[in-house]
Amino acid sequence: MADDLGHRGTRHAVVIGGSLAGLLAARVLAEHAERVTVVERDRLPEGPDARPGVPQGRHLHVLIAGGQQALDELLPGFTDELRGLGAPRVGMPTDMVQWQSGQWFTRLPASAHFYSGPRPQLEWLVRQRVLADPRVELVDGTETVGLTGTAARVTGVRVRERGAGGREERVLAADLVVDASGRSTKAADWLAAIGAEAPHEETLDTGLAYSSRVYRATDAVPATDALGYYVVPGPQQPYGGVIVPLGDGHHIVTLSGLRGDEPPTDEGGFEEYAKRLPHPVVSEWLAGAEPAGPVHGFRRTANIRRRYDRPGRRPAGFLATGDALCAFNPIYGQGMAVAALGALALRRALSDTRRVPTTRRVQRALLDASAQAWDISAGADKKMPGATGDAARSKPADRVTGWYLARVQERAAGDAVVGVPFRAALTLTAPLTSLFAPAVVRAALFSPVPATPVEPPLRLGD
């Protein structure tokens, strides 16, 4: 089979989008191409600041263990640098007061850690590291408006400088183009314009909406040795509330609710909405804390998977990654991790000496890197009331799996035999099949549901 991706001998690769997925793809492509150009619509700030092209950056972002390990592999020493910037490391379930499906989690010893901290800070760190490579060039303040080439092969991108009346287009010729322009990608239009077919979009939308605000804790917040709070929404109780430290004396508070009952973005409404949570613990914390910024809202949270792997007239030399390939309901905290796992999959596929890395094969590897996260996100969201989209339909096997996983979840709150593999699967460090290991199956099927705290465990040992 021909090397239709052209990477053996790829001189120039263009990446559309200079956020996490684009930067990490550029990092890997620099190992294979003579040069890589990252085209980014925003003018990127010098420092770790929020920017318009990543509006979700104002909301809670946690880096789960699977993503953290992948980032360390792509950018050695990354976690140490992140910690050096003050990003808190939070152990689960030890460090959080967590409520899910009517149970408080026992604060057992941590078996998984995540990093919190501001999302712009994490992206800034990745950006510094990736752009330090002289083979990677950033062209910011520049929007990609289309592709060049034919339905058989992409030969570059059409770009336009933003602002300053920059209406003139120019072409950046490339042997390989990677779309990392996020969940609102225009790739379907770009492909149609060169006579190719857009991929089928699988969707599953619960209508989940976020409202987030930064607070400063004062002595008036309830005393606890936990680092944060996490009220997990579910089919019976649709409201979510999370409080995590940002590492600079501030905490981010994110409230969530479903379509028709979204959390408000006005100041009074935000704190009032927190009272709908099944326990006043988040409300009580808010009453003792001082706001340190405005309330921000976010509504586009559907799971969307673009099936480039399915047959269709698609050009060689065009790939999609990150949210542009597969975007998740953010409540599961997976997107950044999948961007990093995708970059590792890209590296493996391009370096594979046994198989020719065709466009289709490499795209398939990118999709596979998002499969577990999709199964978790779509699997849970199918059960949410009012979920819409073609991926919301249940299959007959879902009932059996759902029954088993409900037993696993009930026991995860207080039993380490189940809780440890449960957290490992959710944080993308172990496959979902680890939930079917004999010890887990025995505990899920034959052990009683362990006793868990009756009140929020504000102190270790409660």
Is residue 204 within the footprint of ligand FAD (CB under 6 A)?
no
Is residue 342 within the footprint of ligand FAD (CB under 6 A)?
no
Is residue 330 within the footprint of ligand FAD (CB under 6 A)?
yes
Least Å distance, CB 250 to ligand FAD, is 16
Q: Closer to ligand FAD by CB, 59 or 107: give it.
A: 59
Is residue 298 within the footprint of ligand FAD (CB under 6 A)?
yes
Least Å distance, CB 59 to ligand FAD, is 4
Q: Closer to ligand FAD by CB, 210 or 422: give it.
A: 210
Least Å distance, CB 39 to ligand FAD, is 5
By CB under 6 A, the residues from 161 to 180 that bind ligand FAD are 180
Least Å distance, CB 339 to ligand FAD, is 4
Q: Closer to ligand FAD by CB, 67 or 453: give it.
A: 67
Residue 211 CA, chain-centre distance (Å), reads: 17
Is residue 334 within the footprint of ligand FAD (CB under 6 A)?
yes
Is residue 376 within the footprint of ligand FAD (CB under 6 A)?
no
Contact characters 13-32, ligand FAD, x per CB under 6 A: ---xxxxxxx----------
Is residue 61 within the footprint of ligand FAD (CB under 6 A)?
yes
Residue from the set 37, 111, 148, 181 that interacts with ligand FAD by CB under 6 A: 181
Least Å distance, CB 44 to ligand FAD, is 8
Give the number of residues in contact with ligand FAD, rule: CB under 6 A.
Answer: 37
Please give the residue ranges that form the binding site for ligand FAD (CB under 6 A): 16-22, 39-42, 53-54, 56, 59-62, 67, 143-144, 180-182, 210, 298, 301, 322-324, 330, 333-337, 339
